[in-house]
Structure 1
């Protein structure tokens, strides 16, 4: 049996145990310690930290996330790191209020209760927890869904909130040739079992924060934003919310009625559909505000004070990258920007 070691995190003075066979990030998840993370594949650098003392070795990581010079200095990616002694690690990115509010990772056996298309290439998949009968998570987080009969998984954000205990909804984009797209076409049916692991991610509303909110989404990035909106409605949150959703055509818009119904219960809510290819007004309900152009171009026009807001981003990687450039140019501090960086092959999220 592999040895266990003690990890001390600085400057937050939190300790935990880790086995040599598990990476440090997974060990933290197991113990309900909410370390900053993104792709969990050694590609995005969100979990980059500095080893002050101890023997840590990394495996299977991208040098774009942690280059050779950084590794020589002592930087590591916690999602790829294994400890072979007691260690002291300096966290470079962390939210002290969030660290000990994490929910321990759960393995849940679920039953498929609905598979319904909401656009030509986005499907609503609803799963009912069976064992255990409840799934604990925070609005805005994501889960790993295992592809039946394999050890592979894909990561998808929840669109529901924890209060919807009878099922968990995922909004999944079908990419041509994708493994999960094939499942949604003819690989799984209502009544089938599916394994779920989670929750992951830090795309959650921060308690005690008061700045106005700007949500920017596209494609299946609707899911965690819808979860946040549902949560705000359920909890009576009074922060001002503007939601910009990017799509190509009116046929790519969905859940409009629910978004407007939720918005009627929120403070200063505005929803703007941003269409990059077609603006046919006859295909769009008159109650929906529509702007022409890419979502980031619309946000640039309509949010001159975006530097004084908190911004939540979720969508295809090119959209997220363009939005990050916009926010940097607009002077939005990095600690006011929240997103989960999705990487291939989990482009299905």
Structure 2
């Protein structure tokens, strides 16, 4: 586990949706911030006297590219001290204390069966990192399905980029799924669960990666096991 704290400089901020922002952060002490796709960093934010109550973790949304800059995508949580601080106080040029990379939510060593990336909201971040890395490195991989659930079209993150990746990568399939959109949406409706259950009607071997809100993850774990899959097939990263 990486216990070293670094100084990060915010180089760019972009409003992605009405309540999410993309933050680019450079770590000047390093020439290469080396990490595995799927890992996260932890900030120490000045929001509490107790150390462990100041720490907030975010998955890295960019892929390892040999540089010392990473991208995060962060949602403003109602009443959330960490995200409120980042949205209100942090500007381009601001400094943040961070450590990482951390976590074991990474691609399987043996990619011998289909992979289902199931996420809600900013839970898409680690999967974006994984898929872009596989494309960039031209690594062989099985069929991969990214099932991204949110409420409305306006809440979709990285939508154009994911469609573009799906066009370039024959084995990457993008399934945006909206639970509340009514006007002009031609894609999947409802929740992520119906999508993977339908795709896996044949019960073929698969790896499942779940990232997002606890409610979605809890339900997905139950449903995937009810389909006959083993708990060892399920990997998860919890948000909130």
| TM-score normalised by the chain length of structure 2 | 0.90
Looking at structure 2, the residues matched to 161 and 148 of structure 1 have their Cα atoms a distance apart, in angstroms, of 28
1:301 aligns with 2:203: no
Alignment of 1:93-242 (within 5 A): 104-148=2-46, 151=51, 152-163=54-65, 165-236=67-138, 237-242=140-145
Task: Return structure 1 stretches of 4+ with deviation > 6 angstroms.
Answer: none
1:206 to partner: Cα distance? 1.8
Report what 1:315 is aligned to.
212
Q: Is the contact made by 2:122 and 2:157 (CA closer than 8 Å) also made in structure 1?
A: no
Looking at structure 1, the residues matched to 90 and 134 of structure 2 have their Cα atoms a distance apart, in angstroms, of 33
> Secondary structure of the equivalent of 2:85?
helix
Report what 1:337 is aligned to.
234
Looking at structure 1, the residues matched to 46 and 13 of structure 2 have their Cα atoms a distance apart, in angstroms, of 16
1:181 to partner: Cα distance? 2.4
Report what 1:49 is aligned to.
none
1:273 aligns with 2:171: no
> Secondary structure of the equivalent of 2:157?
coil
Looking at structure 2, the residues matched to 167 and 280 of structure 1 have their Cα atoms a distance apart, in angstroms, of 38
Distance change >3 Å, CA 108–CA 246, structure 1 → 2: same
> Secondary structure of the equivalent of 1:135?
coil
1:168 to partner: Cα distance? 0.6
1:217 to partner: Cα distance? 0.8
1:307 to partner: Cα distance? 5.2
**Could you say which structure has the greater relative contact order, defined with CA pairs below 8 angstroms and 6 or more residues apart?**
2
Looking at structure 2, the residues matched to 186 and 242 of structure 1 have their Cα atoms a distance apart, in angstroms, of 36
Report what 1:259 is aligned to.
162
1:278 to partner: Cα distance? 1.1
Looking at structure 2, the residues matched to 106 and 139 of structure 1 have their Cα atoms a distance apart, in angstroms, of 20
Q: Is the contact made by 2:39 and 2:104 (CA closer than 8 Å) also made in structure 1?
A: yes
Alignment of 1:61-100 (within 5 A): none
Cα RMSD for the two superposed structures: 1.8
Distance change >3 Å, CA 200–CA 307, structure 1 → 2: farther
Give the alignment partner of residue 328 of structure 1, picking from 221, 225, 228: 225
Higher Rg of the two aligned structures: 1
Which ranges of structure 1 fall in alignment gaps of 5 or more residues? 1-28, 30-103
Q: Is the contact made by 1:129 and 1:166 (CA closer than 8 Å) also made in structure 2?
A: yes
1:113 to partner: Cα distance? 0.9
Higher mean displacement: 262-271 or 246-255: 262-271
1:269 to partner: Cα distance? 2.2
Higher mean displacement: 161-170 or 323-332: 161-170
> Secondary structure of the equivalent of 1:180?
helix
- The number of equivalent residue pairs is 235
1:306 to partner: Cα distance? 4.8
Higher mean displacement: 144-153 or 163-172: 144-153
C-alpha offsets along residues 196-247 of structure 1, whole Å, 9 cap, x if unaligned?
Answer: 1112221111223211111101101010011111111112233211111000
Report what 2:146 is aligned to.
243
Which ranges of structure 2 fall in alignment gaps of 5 or more residues? none
Q: Is the contact made by 2:77 and 2:84 (CA closer than 8 Å) also made in structure 1?
A: no
Q: Is the contact made by 1:115 and 1:184 (CA closer than 8 Å) also made in structure 2?
A: no
